[in-house]
Structure 1
Amino acid sequence: AAVGLTEGIDRAGLLGLSYTAARFPEDVRADSRRALTTHPGVVLLPTTFRVVERKEGTWSMVTGQYSTPQGARRALVHHLTRPVPQLPDLPDMPELPAWMKVDEKEAALHARAAKKFTARRRPNELVLRGRRFEVIRVERVMRIGPDGPEKSRPSDVDDY
């Protein structure tokens, strides 16, 4: 399909990318290398936004993907202000597991941080007790080959 100059440059830069870092299992890296020849083309998908938590030397995803930065910001506020709900007393569970308990002081701190975050104009970063949350832009691609879009790879994990 015809594309503009900028998209063409972006796509050309993505053609040869594959998973190479040692943190990816060998079967994932092998499938990724194989896809360069079986599905050599790329199609840019719409950009999405999500919140990640930056950690020393790495990061982890906090929210799902949203079509706008504002959607990701709302998700961060929800993450901070909607702690895991308290369950009613259950016969087999006389006490909630520690991970389900809500610390009221911590919840109040999160609520104040969320309020300050939403008061700012287009905030993209929040630091809370040394934890750094950022709204990030996610560029997505789909590999395509002679038989159409790439299907799932043997190394793709599906726990369900």
Structure 2
Amino acid sequence: MPAENVPTSSQSDGRWRVVNVPSGSNAKSVAILNGGTATAITYGLTSDGYNHTVSQATAEDKRLTLLQDLSRPGKITETLELTAVASSDATSADQVLLALSLSGAETQFTTRRAVANDATFATGQKADVLTGIVGVRRANAPTENGVDTASYTVYLTKPTDRQATLVA
């Protein structure tokens, strides 16, 4: 028996849901997330196609003759790279992202983890909301025994709402 508590883990297979929500809509609203204006794109992305990276700079705090340099957390830098299975299906992640890319419109991505993909959104669940503009579609090189894919950079235009609580 361990000397301390062993926290439970959450399997990621089948337990993510990424939904595109038009700008101006409440991307934390269960009514909108389960409604007709939100588009689920989870399974249109490749297995490595959701690459949200977060880094934080260090604000140096050097003091006269102090032997140790001090520091504080600095600015946060985030990037979001999406890779979609190439598809001509109008509701596919590729076509949704392509349309957003061509429009230049700001959009939102709500990402829920640790809940079955097929479960409807419910109040009290947690999700991240990323807001940005989708950049140009970049067709990727073909791979042996693979499918065609395309990548998009999402340029974040607002601070990410981390672990936001979903509301009615």
TM-score, structure 2 length as denominator?
Answer: 0.26
Name the structure where helix makes up a greater proportion of residues. 1
Name the structure where strand makes up a greater proportion of residues. 2
TM-score, structure 1 length as denominator?
Answer: 0.27
